[in-house]
Amino acid sequence: MEASAAGRARRGWRRARDAGSSLSRAAVLLFLSAFLVRAPPSVGYLVRLPRAFRLTQDAVKIVGSSSFPENSTAQITSTGSLVFQNFEESMSGVYTCFLEYKPSVEEVVKNLQLKYIIYAYREPHYYYQFTARYHAAPCNSIYNISFEKKLLQILSKLVLDLSCEISLLKSECHHVKMQRAGLQNELFFTFSVSSLDTEKGPKPCTEHNCDSSNRLSKAKNLIERFFNQQVEVLGRRAEPLPEIYYIEGTLQMVWINRCFPGYGMNILQHPKCPECCVICSPGSYNPRDGIHCLQCNSSMVYGAKACL
C-alpha cells in the first residue's frame, strides 16, 4: 500500500498567454522533457528526486490545461514529455511543467515546477551579392535596356541546374570621366544569387552536396568564370571593341547573411547558437531582413515586425 501511495503523481503542462500572433510556420522540431528537473532559480539543471519516489507509466496521470493548444502540433506523452511537431512561430513563449507527488503516505504533497522559454528559429537568409560594370552605349539608348535583359537571362541560365536564382537588384547608367578618354558611359549592375528550395529546382536534389551553401559556392565559381571568359574573349579580338563590354576587374562578390523579418541574432541571449536567427522576444522587433532585433518597449509579442 505504501509503494502504491508513493507512486501517485500528477504531471501537467501549462502555457503562458504571452505568445505572439499566428505567423508562417518555422521548420523546427522540438522535443522537450522536464523529467527529474527542479524549479528555478536555475532552469535546466537535473537533480535527483527522493529515493522513495517512483514514476511508472501506469501511475502517472497527465493533466492538460485549457490555455495549452493541445492539437496535432503539440502533444503530451504518457510519461509527461511535451513534444512539438510542425512548430509554429505563434507557439513561442513560456511553458510551465508542474509535478505533484507524495514521497510517502506520511509526508505532505510536494510540488516541482519548471518554466521553459521556447523560441522558434529559422535558417538565415544568406546569398551572394555581386556588382559589375560595363562600358555602355549612351545612357538613353535602348541598346542598354536590351543588353541588361540578355545579361540577366544568361546569368540565370548559368545557375539554373544548381537550384539557384539570380535577381537584378539595381541598374544605373553614369557618365564617367576618364583621365585620357574623357567622358564615357558605364552601366553599374548589382545582382544577387540565392538558393531555391531543392524541390522547386529543375531537378530533384538528394545528394549530400545539395545544401544551399554548397550550391551557392558553386554558383559563385560559375559567375566568376563567366566574367573572366569575357575578358579572355575581348583580349583575343582583332577588330575594335563592341559598344557594350565588361570592364575588367570590376566584378565584386560579397557574402550576405540576414535574418527574415521578426527574427534576429543575439549572441548574449543565445550563446550556444550565435549565428541562429531566433524569433524576436517581446520588447524587440525586426522590420526587415536585418541581423538583430531592435529595442521596442511597446512590442509585447514574439516575432514582431513593427514597433507598435
User: Tell me: the pLDDT tens digits for 147-159?
Assistant: 999 999 999 999 9
Query: In the predicted model, is pLDDT for residue 106 greater than 50?
Result: yes
pLDDT band at 49, cuts 50/70/90?
very low
pLDDT band at 4, cuts 50/70/90?
very low
Q: Are 14 and 98 in contact (CB under 8 A)?
A: yes
**Mean pLDDT (whole number) for 11-36:** 40
Q: Which distant-in-sequence residues (6+ apart) come within 8 Å of 132 by Cβ?
A: 189, 191, 227, 246, 247, 250, 251, 252
Q: What is the pLDDT of residue 90?
A: 84
For the entire predicted model, the pTM comes to: 0.59
For the stretch 234-286, pLDDT in tens is: 888 878 889 999 999 999 999 998 899 999 999 998 898 888 899 999 999 99
pLDDT band at 172, cuts 50/70/90?
very high
Which sign, positive or negative, has the C-alpha torsion 217, 219, 225, 230? negative
**Of 239, 282, 275, whose CA–CA distance to 259 is shortest?**
275
Query: In the predicted model, is pLDDT for residue 68 greater than 70?
Result: no
- What's the count of helices (H) and strands (E) in the chain, helices before strands? 3, 17
Q: What is the pLDDT of residue 289?
A: 80
Return d(Cα 76, Cα 10) in angstroms, integer.
13
Return d(Cα 214, Cα 220) in angstroms, integer.
10
**Percent of the chain topping pLDDT 90:** 38
| Residue with cell string 503530451 | 76
Which sign, positive or negative, has the C-alpha torsion 209, 213, 216, 218? negative
Query: In the predicted model, is pLDDT for residue 59 greater than 50?
Result: no
Q: Which distant-in-sequence residues (6+ apart) come within 8 Å of 288 by Cβ?
A: 261
Return d(Cα 98, Cα 115) in angstroms, integer.
9
Is pLDDT larger for residue 194 or for residue 71? 194
Q: What is the pLDDT of residue 3?
A: 36
pLDDT band at 95, cuts 50/70/90?
confident
**Mean pLDDT (whole number) for 19-44:** 30
- The mean predicted confidence, pLDDT, of the chain is 77
Quickly count: other Cβ atoms within 10 Å of residue 109's Cβ: 11
Query: In the predicted model, is pLDDT for residue 28 greater than 90?
Result: no
Q: What is the pLDDT of residue 96?
A: 86
**Mean pLDDT (whole number) for 67-83:** 69
C-alpha dihedral (39, 43, 48, 49), degrees to nearest 10: 20
pLDDT band at 77, cuts 50/70/90?
confident
Q: What is the pLDDT of residue 148?
A: 96
Q: Which of 28-32, 196-200, 218-222 has the highest mean pLDDT?
A: 218-222
Q: Which of 61-65, 97-101, 143-147 has the lowest mean pLDDT?
A: 61-65
Is pLDDT larger for residue 230 or for residue 178? 230
pLDDT band at 66, cuts 50/70/90?
very low
Query: In the predicted model, is pLDDT for residue 79 greater than 70?
Result: yes
Cα distance between the two ends of the chain: 59
